[in-house]
Amino acid sequence: MAVNLTYDDKIAVLDLGDDENRFSPDFLDEINRVLDEVLAAGAHGLVTTAGGKFYTNGLDLDWLMAHGDRTDWYVGRVHALLARMLTLPIPTAAAVVGHAFGAGAMLAIAHDFRVMRADRGFFCFPEIDIRIPFTPGMAALIQAKLTPQAQVASMTTGRRFGGVDAQQIGIVDATAGEGAVTPAATEFLRPLAGKDSGTLGAIKATMFDPAVAALTGA
């Protein structure tokens, strides 16, 4: 299943797909195309969700193995998407309906809010266990959003957080049951409808300037 965009009133709901939803170059192109569409339509908010057991499993390691000579280009594309989501000029919420690993977990972190299923799925930064250190940009993104305690607990251990544990340590804002995660994420945004996008974009750009600079090299 390709990504799919629907609307709940004026809140855009982007379904990332029903497989592992890894960040292939085509997937990155499609996400950016949809974000362009959402902003052009004047949406009052954006919820990202998924249709299967994964929210997203992050980097497309198979593509990377086959295109090792393009690693820097590819990582730059991923960094650019994370920076764009971090500063998107409308309210955003990730509906983490299943597993969110690595860069997929970073995508969730880049949203304003996160709602995770309480009884299924893990939120995990596995970098320590797969021997891939965080890039400075990825580390800066996580550090911009999580407390020092949560940073250490998630970045240095490879721990797989279920929804309840993730909420207790502040990785996600709320949990919900099966079938209720996306509606709950949407309700996070509904009171924020109508915020001026220019002002909100400027606030986010100022708030997260160090992380964006680390992600984009700007």
Nearest Cα residue to 14 out of 57, 51, 59, 53? 51
Integer CA distances (angstroms), 200 to 33, 64, 90, 125, in order: 21, 35, 7, 29
Nearest Cα residue to 122 out of 148, 147, 102? 102
What is the total residue count of the chain?
Answer: 218
pLDDT at 9 over 90: yes
List the structure tokens of 61. Answer: 């390691």
Percent of the chain with pLDDT over 70: 99
C-beta of residue 126 within 8 angstroms of C-beta of residue 134: no
Q: What is the CATH number of the domain that holds 161?
A: 3.90.226.10
Number of domains in the chain: 1
C-beta of residue 125 within 8 angstroms of C-beta of residue 154: yes
C-beta of residue 114 within 8 angstroms of C-beta of residue 93: yes
pLDDT at 11 over 90: yes
Nearest Cα residue to 139 out of 213, 197, 69, 74? 213
Residue 1 confidence (pLDDT): 55
The pLDDT of 25-37, averaged and rounded, is 97
Residue 77 confidence (pLDDT): 98
pLDDT higher for 52 or 122?
122
Residue-wise pLDDT tens digits, 50-93: 998 999 999 999 999 999 999 999 999 999 999 999 999 999 99
Q: Which domain holds residue 33?
A: 4-216
pTM of the model: 0.97
Residue 15 confidence (pLDDT): 98
C-beta of residue 110 within 8 angstroms of C-beta of residue 188: no
Residue 46 confidence (pLDDT): 98
pLDDT at 116 over 70: yes
Residue 2 confidence (pLDDT): 82
